[in-house]
Amino acid sequence: MTGTLVSPHGGTLVNRMVDADSLESLRIEAASLPRIDMSAKQACDLEMIAMGAFSPLTGFVKEADFRSICSDMRLADGTVWPIPATLAVDDDVKSTLEVGSRAALYHSDGTLMAVIDVEEVYAHDREIELSGVFRTTDQAHPGVAQVLAEGDWLVGGVVHVLTVLPEHEPGEQFTEHRLTPEQTRAAFTERGWSTVAGFQTRNPIHRAHEYLCKCATEICDGLLIHPLVGETKEGDIPADVRMKCYETIIEHYFVEDCTCLSVMPAAMRYAGPREAVLHAVVRQNYGVSHFIVGRDHAGVGDYYGTYDAQEIFDTMNPGDLEVTPLKFEHAAWSHKAQGMVSAKTFPKIKGDQVFLSGTKVRELLAEGQRPPAEFSRPEVADVLIEWATSMATA
């Protein structure tokens, strides 16, 4: 286990956190600046920018980058970037802003989080964003609905971040596992890892996920289980429940010395192929060399083909990314094999295989049913049914 980790995307790991000596003066300045109250998605994006997870971005995108990202999946300088990080505001807020000045960014609970250099204020071209990023304008798509609900103006500029954790946000912050890219890279280096497999999830890990993770770990020095704990859609299992599931399955079914658990505080867009690329770019920044891309990665409904999120990587140029996508077929439980299989590893036998999905697990829980052993490890099923039961009796 020797060698170096992959480079950050764009070559340099960004850090937009203000140093301790500048905090007080920036707070004083912010008190007299125009105020922008951020949405949950914007607050998530701010944290990702601040700690370098969105490297090479140093702030919310300006118009040239916005248009280039939406049309060509690249920043204006040619660097691959699939989804714009935007700061949308309405007419009232726009009227208070002055290009060349600054504005203060607040969490919805009133916490001052950052100051932005207002370098540009430009019209929010939803048409190019929806068609380019989501491939649909259907308002039933949660990512589309989110964009349509945003303001008509976008503010672009570098951010100067005081804090990424709001003072009064309800729920668990997962501070123990809230590692920055700098921290995960240090952890990998300390363990002697140079190749790391990354696994993205917004669901509890079921048996198919476990199979993919372990296949990937076999070819890498270690595994980063990296659940998304930012804003998700209604109906997704809460982040604190999912975290308990991850901790439980790692304790019982993974090798501790080969496994790392950290959270990614990003917001889901449900943009399918484009979001798969974003997830890969972000994991490269965290030090991941191999990224698991499974069936319908980051998809929702039937807006994207089963393997569109894998095929989009085939359209990219050599050198666009250092991270290697690991493309997996749909895995299933085989009664005959008494284990997990795929189309490449076991023949199809009528009635033999049980296909798994996070959606199916959620459906079972909503009906008060315990996920069977073919779907979830029993220790994980215990966590899930305890949560589902508490919700039913609340």
Could you give the residue numbers annotated as active site?
202-203
Compute the distance between CA of residue 130 and CA of residue 144 in angstroms, rounded to an integer: 6
Q: Which tokens go with 137?
A: 């304008």
Burial letters for 26-38: b for 16+ Cβ neighbours within 10 Å, e otherwise? beeebeebbebeb
Q: Which amino acid is at 270?
A: Y
Nearest residue to 264 (alpha-carbon basis) of 227, 298, 237, 238 = 227
Q: Is 305 helix (H, G, I), strand (E, B) or coil?
A: coil
Enumerate the β-bridge partners of residue 225: 199, 261
Burial letters for 63-101: b for 16+ Cβ neighbours within 10 Å, e otherwise? bebbbbbbeebbbbeebbbbbbbbbbbeeebbeebeeee
Q: Which residues contact 230 (CB under 8 A, 6 or more apart)?
A: 40, 41, 44, 264, 265, 266, 267, 268
What is the residue whose two structure tokens read 């859609």? 233
287: left (phi over 0), alpha (psi -120 to 50) or beta: left
Pairing type for strands 102-106 and 112-117 reads: antiparallel
DSSP alpha helices (H): ranges in 272-317?
273-285, 308-311
Q: Contact at 8 Å (CB) between 249 and 225?
A: no
Enumerate the β-bridge partners of residue 116: 103, 159
Compute the distance between CA of residue 378 and CA of residue 384 in angstroms, rounded to an integer: 10
